[in-house]
């Protein structure tokens, strides 16, 4: 087991800089996520580590060992693919044993390790089945068992949950996180889903246009976005000029909807802004609210459902905000 | 290490290099020599266009060009007009026996067309059985020899090239498009004409193009039926083999012209189809149309008539091979003399056919499947060039390739003429495009992440290819092997140029008895060819059925 050290890595496709001078260190045993919109370079970076994409410059090391010149099949990586990539011509056990056979592990040991791995992903007893007899969630478990069983130095996840339905996605991400922690394997996870990234990761690297936008713990990036992009990509936010909120500095600030409240619900010390209701969206437990200020700026906020409260489009309303949660953006 | 090739490209590049080596030596070099011989003066020293002006200056060869092209166009038009309604009926109308019709309709693709031509001669020729019977009834008809007979045989043997892709296209039409048209007020007949037909047009044209190229390159059918009518492939053969004065230069000219015309047709088709991609994603096969009894009966009759007419000649040959011939004259008694006559000298031609077909099918697979894999998986200039070169044999008539082989491997570092290997190599080159096409089609359907998963689990790219790709492609590879085997076994045009002494095959035997007038032996050879062709197909069919059932 080892951490991953990425230094000065770049790759261009034609004129597009897919990955641009990326420096990154993933600690040993850490669950690290590359997060970003499609085309940001996160998958390219993952495939460079896996050995399926050449580097134009830079180097990648596992611990002290440089691996970017090593053929993909000698890198000792467990990889979980978006579309599972379970071999349809092999049984579940055959799939899980595949990497062990490639490593010439003796047959009796293969048998026990395959069983252990299947038990680990809650597929004990499924060894003899063929992939076409399994559901999507089960196939992804096979793929995970197959990647874990070889006891790789590093686990790579390439959007592993995006082909599953919403409910299964939520439970699987919890399982993946637990497995990784209990085994202590360094994991690099790629996703475009901000909520998924926050739920599983120790740290997140936010990527945009081939560059690292911000690195940090999920809460840190959410609460203290370093850029407009980071503020907008990590959930909903209000990007406004400070003047609009009655502040003097000529800067842009990010204010999360939950840092805004209706005047009646807010602590006394919070600054106020007045406007009118522009849109009301009742979602059940919460009600989303767009408030239009005097200068035309629209602020998004939300309140918990409250039957007595009458919110009508056009009605005047006063909001209060927590100035401690304002983030000034460069 | 000064020049590093990325690891994941090494396998593809190695395959591409071997592919180029093989195709370079056994395709490009012979073709280059055909070009060369057509451009050199009789002393072989200076470049000249004199051969071209000489050949094109003679009305005989000019008429060969006109005949070949006009027969090809006529056959293509008739084939298309027959096959498109046929395809529509099979795809959209409720008619009995569809599975049987489909199975039988595919057979002319693998059965040798010159056998059909020969059967037509035996039935409808000057002293043909049907001709004589009609004459005794007082009915006469025009000669079957010449353009009419050739077009008839082309139509009967080549119609599946249009039929099969068109059926698939009709089935892939998204029925909501037709519904949209009807919803906008278009009656059903007009909807077929204005919506459905335009959508399937690219498939029809692709099939029609195959028919046209087949007619340009075909040697056996005009050899049997043309009589005095000059036809391209036959005249190239005669010029090259010519008993009086072999003339490789003039044969080269005809060969080059033939290659240029097929290439031209292919390029035109590519340009035309490039702007017309109407891929529709039908989520389900369009429902059968409800039609009246009368129309249904007419449609059924129409389909069965075409299928059966196309197979009658082959059936007739098998029956005739068990009857007694005296010279070219048929007597009505049952006899095995034709077969004993065929084999009394030796079983060698039969064995040769089996061995050559097996070797060639193995080579075709070993060369074509890896090339198809590279073509499908790699996005680079190398892969594109490899694709073009590997498709090239498709545009080269067997006669022309064989002439190139003789010119290239008669002397020099690699002498192959007079041996069996030259036949196997020519067959391999001719059938490689089919293996490449079918292999790349299968690879396109296999997700690349399966290979990446295998590699990241510790198998090298080569092991991954053997352990993951080959098993997944096996069904397709197997049918490819059978198809190449079958078509090689009945190959005629390259064989008659390249065979020698003890290395005669069944097709050569038949060819020689055609020339020598030994009708009995010819029917026996033809019957055996038919059996040799149908047996593996039947086995494959059973195998596929069992595989699908399990």
pLDDT digits (tens, 9 = 90+) for B215-272: 998 999 999 898 888 998 888 888 887 655 567 788 888 888 888 888 888 888 777 7
Residues A205 and A323 in one domain: no
- Which residue among A166, A196, A227 closes a domain? A227
Residues A56 and A197 in one domain: yes
According to DSSP, the β-strands at A286-293 and A4-13 are unpaired
Domain that holds residue A72: 4-227
| Contact with chain A for residue B468, Cβ under 8 A | yes
Residues A197 and A259 in one domain: no
Alpha-carbon distance of B488 to B427, in angstroms, equals 6
Residues A276 and A190 in one domain: no
Residues B302 and B405 in one domain: no
Q: Is residue B279 part of a domain?
A: no
Alpha-carbon distance of B535 to B540, in angstroms, equals 9
Residues A324 and A218 in one domain: no
Alpha-carbon distance of A111 to A108, in angstroms, equals 5
- Which residue among B299, B323, B347 closes a domain? B323
Q: What is the pLDDT of residues B10-54, one digit of tens each?
A: 889 999 999 999 999 999 999 998 888 888 877 767 788 888 888
Of B7, B449, B471, the CB nearest to A85: B449
Residues A23 and A114 in one domain: yes
Q: What is the CA radius of gyration of chain B?
A: 25
Residues B86 and B131 in one domain: yes
Structure tokens at B158: 């080549």
> b/e for B123-142, b at 16 or more Cβ within 10 A?
bbbeebbebeeeeeeeeeee
| Contact with chain B for residue A99, Cβ under 8 A | yes
Task: State the CATH number of the domain containing residue A261.
Answer: 2.40.50.100
Residues A193 and A254 in one domain: no
**Beta carbons of A51 and B449 less than 8 Å apart:** no
Q: Is residue B150 part of a domain?
A: yes
Alpha-carbon distance of B488 to B497, in angstroms, equals 15
- Identify the band that residue B340 occupies on the pLDDT scale cut at 50, 70 and 90: confident
| Closest residue of chain B to A157, computed from CA coordinates | B453
Residues B317 and B380 in one domain: no
Residues B305 and B365 in one domain: no
Strands in A130-227 per DSSP E: 154-158, 186-191, 203-208, 211-216
Q: What is the pLDDT of residues A47-100, one digit of tens each?
A: 999 999 889 999 999 999 999 989 999 999 999 999 889 999 999 999 999 999
| Contacts across the A-B interface (CB distance below 8 Å) | 73
B336 close to B327: Cβ distance less than 8 angstroms: no
- Identify the band that residue B549 occupies on the pLDDT scale cut at 50, 70 and 90: low
Of A52, A99, A147, the CB nearest to B8: A52
Residues of A in contact with B453 (CB under 8 A): 79, 81, 85-87, 143, 146
A229 close to A327: Cβ distance less than 8 angstroms: no
- Which residue among A167, A200, A227 closes a domain? A227
Res B2 pLDDT > 50: no
| Contact with chain A for residue B381, Cβ under 8 A | no
| Closest residue of chain B to A146, computed from CA coordinates | B457
**Beta carbons of A99 and B471 less than 8 Å apart:** no
| Closest residue of chain A to B9, computed from CA coordinates | A52
Q: Give the pLDDT of residue B471.
A: 92
Q: A159 to chain B nearest CA, in Å?
A: 13
Q: Give the pLDDT of residue B432.
A: 94
Alpha-carbon distance of B71 to B212, in angstroms, equals 9
Q: B379 to chain A nearest CA, in Å?
A: 13
Residues A147 and A283 in one domain: no
Residues A127 and A211 in one domain: yes
Q: Is residue B187 part of a domain?
A: yes
Point out the least confidently predicted range of B130-139, B353-362, B386-395, B439-448: B130-139
Q: Is residue B255 part of a domain?
A: no
DSSP string, B523-537: HHHHHHHHHHHHHHH
Residues B481 and B548 in one domain: yes
**Beta carbons of B468 and A87 less than 8 Å apart:** yes
Structure tokens at B380: 């680079």
**Beta carbons of A77 and B459 less than 8 Å apart:** no
Residues of B in contact with A151 (CB under 8 A): none
Point out the least confidently predicted range of A173-182, B17-26, B355-364, B496-505: B496-505
DSSP string, A215-280: EE-HHHHHHS-SSHHHHHHSS--EEEEGGGGT--S--EEEE-GGGEEEGGGS-TTS-EEEEEEEEE
Structure tokens at B462: 């080569």
Computed over every residue of chain B, the mean pLDDT equals: 86
Residue among A14, A52, A163 with most chain B CBs within 10 A, to mutate? A52
Residues of A in contact with B472 (CB under 8 A): 88-89
Point out the least confidently predicted range of A33-47, B33-47, B69-83, B421-435: B33-47
- Which residue among B298, B323, B348 closes a domain? B323
Using alpha carbons, list the distances in angstroms from residue A313 to A236, A290, A310, B252: 22, 9, 10, 86
Point out the least confidently predicted range of A15-24, A75-84, B71-80, B507-516: B507-516
Q: A44 to chain B nearest CA, in Å?
A: 14
Q: Inter-axis angle of helices B7-23 and B381-391, to 10 degrees?
A: 30
Structure tokens at B522: 């010819």
Res B413 pLDDT > 90: no
A33 close to A91: Cβ distance less than 8 angstroms: no
- Identify the band that residue B283 occupies on the pLDDT scale cut at 50, 70 and 90: low
Provide the ipTM: 0.86
SS3 A23: strand
Residues B99 and B197 in one domain: yes
Question: Average pLDDT for residues B395-422, to the nearest whole number?
Answer: 88
Residues A305 and A194 in one domain: no
Q: Give the pLDDT of residue A294.
A: 85
Residues B379 and B412 in one domain: yes
* DSSP percent split of chain A into helix, strand, coil, nearest 5: 30, 30, 35
Q: Is residue B242 part of a domain?
A: no
Residues A126 and A59 in one domain: yes
Alpha helices, H only, B58-187: 59-92, 98-106, 113-124, 129-136, 147-172, 175-183
Question: Average pLDDT for residues B71-97, to the nearest whole number?
Answer: 93
Residues of A in contact with B5 (CB under 8 A): none
Residues B343 and B307 in one domain: no
- Which residue among B297, B323, B349 closes a domain? B323
Residues B125 and B171 in one domain: yes
- Identify the band that residue B380 occupies on the pLDDT scale cut at 50, 70 and 90: confident
Residues B361 and B313 in one domain: no
Residue among A76, A82, A95, A102 with most chain B CBs within 10 A, to mutate? A102
| Contact with chain B for residue A79, Cβ under 8 A | yes
Higher pLDDT, A327 or B279: A327
Residues B16 and B89 in one domain: no
Task: State the CATH number of the domain containing residue B179.
Answer: 1.10.3720.10
Q: What is the pLDDT of residues B137-177, one digit of tens each?
A: 877 777 888 899 999 999 999 999 999 989 988 888 887 77
Residues B410 and B311 in one domain: no
Count the domains in chain A: 2
| Contact with chain B for residue A11, Cβ under 8 A | no
Residues A134 and A48 in one domain: yes
Q: Is residue B45 part of a domain?
A: no
SS3 B25: helix
Residues of B in contact with A54 (CB under 8 A): 6
Of B447, B455, B471, the CB nearest to A89: B471
What's the pTM?
0.85
| Contact with chain B for residue A81, Cβ under 8 A | yes
For chain A, list residues with pLDDT below 70: 1
| Closest residue of chain A to B7, computed from CA coordinates | A71
Task: State the CATH number of the domain containing residue A149.
Answer: 3.40.50.300
Domain that holds residue B116: 72-228+287-323
Structure tokens at A330: 């460069």
Count the domains in chain B: 2
| Contact with chain A for residue B461, Cβ under 8 A | yes
- Which residue among A227, A256, A285 closes a domain? A227
| Contact with chain B for residue A98, Cβ under 8 A | yes
DSSP string, A175-188: HHHHHHHHHT-EEE
């Amino acid at each position: 087991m080892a951490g991953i050290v990425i230094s000065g890595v770049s790759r261009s496709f034609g004129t597009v800089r897919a990955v641009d001078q990326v420096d990154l260190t993933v600690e040993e045993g850490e669950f690290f996520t590359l997060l970003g919109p499609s085309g940001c370079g996160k998958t390219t970076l993952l495939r460079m580590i896996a050995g399926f994409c050449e580097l134009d410059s830079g180097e990648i090391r596992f611990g002290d060992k440089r691996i970017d010149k090593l053929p993909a099949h000698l890198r000792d990586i467990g990889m979980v693919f978006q579309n599972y990539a379970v071999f349809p011509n092999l049984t579940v056990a055959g799939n899980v044993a595949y990497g062990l056979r490639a490593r010439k592990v003796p047959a009796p040991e293969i048998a026990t390790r395959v069983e252990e791995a299947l038990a680990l992903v809650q597929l004990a007893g499924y060894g003899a089945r063929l992939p076409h007899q399994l559901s999507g969630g089960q196939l992804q478990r096979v793929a995970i068992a197959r990647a874990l069983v070889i006891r790789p130095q590093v686990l790579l996840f390439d959007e592993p949950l995006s082909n599953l339905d919403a409910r299964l996605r939520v439970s699987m991400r919890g399982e993946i996180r637990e497995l990784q922690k209990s085994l202590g394997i360094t994991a690099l996870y790629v996703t475009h889903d901000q909520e998924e990234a926050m739920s599983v990761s120790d740290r997140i690297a936010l990527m945009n246009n081939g560059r690292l936008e911000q690195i940090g713990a999920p809460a840190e990036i959410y609460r203290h976005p370093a850029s407009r992009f980071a503020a907008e990509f990590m959930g909903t936010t209000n990007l406004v000029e400070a003047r609009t909120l009655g502040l003097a500095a000529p800067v842009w600030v990010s204010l999360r909807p939950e840092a805004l409240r209706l005047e009646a619900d807010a602590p006394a010390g919070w600054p106020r802004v007045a406007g009118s209701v522009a849109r009301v969206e009742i979602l059940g437990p919460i009600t989303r609210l767009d408030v239009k200020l005097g200068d035309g700026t629209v602020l998004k906020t939300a309140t918990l459902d409250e039957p007595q409260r009458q919110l009508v489009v056009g009605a005047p309303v006063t909001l209060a905000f927590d100035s401690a949660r304002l983030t000034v953006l460069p | 290490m000064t020049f590093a090739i990325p690891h994941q490209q090494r396998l593809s590049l190695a395959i591409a290099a071997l592919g180029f080596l093989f195709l370079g030596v056994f395709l490009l070099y012979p073709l280059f020599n055909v070009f060369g011989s057509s451009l050199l003066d009789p002393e072989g020293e200076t470049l000249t266009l004199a051969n071209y002006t000489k050949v094109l200056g003679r009305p005989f060869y000019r008429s060969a060009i006109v005949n070949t092209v006009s027969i090809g166009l006529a056959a293509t038009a008739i084939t298309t007009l027959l096959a498109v309604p046929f395809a529509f009926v099979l795809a959209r109308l409720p008619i009995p026996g569809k599975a049987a019709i489909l199975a039988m309709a595919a057979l002319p693709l693998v059965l040798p067309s010159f056998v059909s031509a020969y059967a037509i001669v035996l039935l409808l020729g000057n002293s043909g059985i049907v001709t004589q019977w009609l004459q005794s009834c007082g009915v006469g008809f025009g000669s079957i020899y010449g353009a009419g007979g050739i077009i008839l045989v082309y139509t009967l043997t080549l119609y599946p090239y249009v039929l099969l892709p068109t059926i698939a296209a009709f089935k892939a039409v998204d029925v909501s498009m037709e519904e949209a048209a009807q919803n906008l007020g278009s009656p059903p007949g007009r909807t077929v004409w204005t919506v459905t037909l335009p959508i399937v047009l690219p498939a029809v044209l692709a099939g029609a193009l195959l028919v046209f190229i087949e007619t340009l390159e075909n040697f056996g059918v005009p050899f049997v039926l043309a009589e005095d009518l000059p036809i391209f492939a036959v005249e190239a053969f005669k010029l090259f083999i010519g008993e009086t004065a072999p003339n490789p230069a003039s044969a080269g000219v005809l060969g080059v012209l033939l290659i240029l015309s097929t290439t031209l047709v292919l390029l035109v088709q590519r340009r035309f189809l490039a702007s017309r991609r109407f891929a529709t994603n039908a989520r389900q096969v369009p429902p059968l149309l409800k039609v009246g009894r009368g129309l249904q009966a007419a449609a059924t009759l129409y389909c069965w008539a075409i299928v059966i007419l196309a197979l009658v000649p082959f059936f007739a040959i098998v029956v005739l091979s068990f009857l007694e011939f005296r010279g070219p004259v048929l007597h009505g008694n049952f006899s095995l003399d034709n077969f004993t006559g065929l084999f009394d000298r030796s079983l060698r031609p039969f064995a040769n056919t089996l061995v050559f077909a097996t070797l060639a099918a193995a080579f075709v697979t070993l060369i074509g499947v890896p090339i198809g894999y590279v073509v499908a998986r790699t996005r680079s200039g190398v892969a594109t060039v490899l694709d073009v070169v590997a498709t090239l044999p498709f545009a080269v008539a067997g006669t022309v390739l064989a002439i190139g082989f003789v010119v290239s491997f008669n002397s020099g570092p690699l002498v192959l003429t007079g041996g069996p290997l030259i036949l196997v190599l020519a067959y391999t080159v001719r059938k490689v495009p089919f293996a490449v096409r079918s292999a790349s089609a299968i690879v396109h359907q296999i997700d690349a992440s399966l290979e990446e998963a295998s590699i990241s689990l510790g198998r090298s790219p080569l092991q991954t290819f053997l352990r993951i790709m080959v098993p997944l492609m096996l069904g397709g590879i197997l049918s490819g092997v059978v198809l190449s085997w079958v078509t090689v076994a009945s190959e005629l045009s390259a064989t008659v140029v390249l065979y020698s002494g003890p290395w005669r095959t069944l097709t050569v035997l038949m060819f020689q008895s055609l020339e020598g007038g030994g009708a009995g032996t010819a029917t026996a050879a033809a019957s055996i060819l038919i059996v040799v062709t149908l047996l593996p197909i039947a086995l494959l069919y059973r195998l596929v059925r069992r595989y699908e059932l399990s």
